[in-house]
Amino acid sequence: MYILYGIKNCDTVKKTRKWLDENNIAYRFHDFRTDGLTSEQLAHFAAHADWNKLLNRNSTSWRQLSAGQQADLTQNKALQLMLEMPTLIKRPVLDTGHQIIIGFKTDTYAAILDAKP
């Protein structure tokens, strides 16, 4: 079963959940705020996806970081920031069991999940 990670009140996560439901694709939803995020989960994301794509530099959370926190980013520093503040993660994150999909695009989901666009 697929696992969809995100925050339930995020508009993109809402659109993704609606699309999955409409296409009868079974998934479990994992809310970063209520279910938390472990370093193992984050390491799994980073092992299967580019950490630069995982980090949402357009988020309100990113803009609230200090210049020092934003400077000299390495994968380890970025992952530590995301672990401390999961709202820095671009949403949603879909774990198919074989790959990690970051963000939501109908065509991408349809192609990967063999659903009708």
pLDDT digits (tens, 9 = 90+) for 66-111: 999 999 999 999 999 999 999 999 999 999 999 999 999 999 999 9
Residue 28 has pLDDT above 60, yes or no: yes
Q: Would you state the torsion angle of the CA atoms of residues 30, 9, 105, 4, taken in this order, to the nearest 10 degrees?
A: 0
Is the model's pTM score more than 0.85? Answer: yes
| Catalytic residue chosen out of the listed positions 3, 7, 10, 65 | 10
Active site residue 67: no
Residue 114: per-residue pLDDT: 80
Nearest CA to 78 out of 103, 57, 102 is that of 57
Which residues, in sequence order, are CB contacts of 46 under 8 Å at separation 6+?
54, 75, 79
Residue 115 has pLDDT above 80, yes or no: no
Under CATH, to which class is 2-113 assigned?
alpha beta
Q: Give pLDDT, residue 116.
A: 58
For 31-73, what is each residue's pLDDT tens digit?
A: 999 999 999 999 999 999 999 999 999 999 999 999 999 999 9
Tell me the torsion sign for CA atoms 102, 106, 111, 114.
positive
